[in-house]
Amino acid sequence: MKKNNLIMLVVAMDMLAVTAFQATYAESTKTDANTEKSVAWYVANPKEAHDQNKECHDNPNIQSTPDCVNSLHALQIKFAGGGNGRR
């Protein structure tokens, strides 16, 4: 009987550890996903800037968010020739 209790205790502890890890990982992922990207980041990642700009164009409710403003600014820089090292 004591052996069964010990096994159940070990399993319960493992489940608790896994749950704690999942909660911590989910919180860190959520934080990373909500981080605003800078104009410089969008200039260095033009495909993401284009994708973000399209999303902003399609949804007027988010057009004033920092990601929308920064992606648009980065695309303006790229189209003006400022993002390729030549002027």
The answer to whether the CB of 52 falls within 8 A of the CB of 42 is yes
Q: Record the pTM.
A: 0.56
Same domain, yes or no: 87 and 45: yes
Digit-coded pLDDT (tens) for 6-29: 777 666 666 666 666 666 655 555
The tally of domains found in the chain comes to: 2
Q: What is the reported pLDDT for 26?
A: 57
Same domain, yes or no: 85 and 73: yes
Same domain, yes or no: 8 and 45: no
Domain that holds residue 85: 36-87
Same domain, yes or no: 82 and 46: yes
Q: What is the reported pLDDT for 2?
A: 77
Same domain, yes or no: 83 and 49: yes
Same domain, yes or no: 56 and 87: yes
User: How many residues appear in the chain?
Assistant: 87
Digit-coded pLDDT (tens) for 32-43: 556 899 999 999
Element containing residue 9 per DSSP (H, E): helix 2-33
Average pLDDT, the chain: 80
Instruction: Assign 63 a pLDDT band (cuts: 50, 70, 90).
Output: very high
Same domain, yes or no: 12 and 45: no
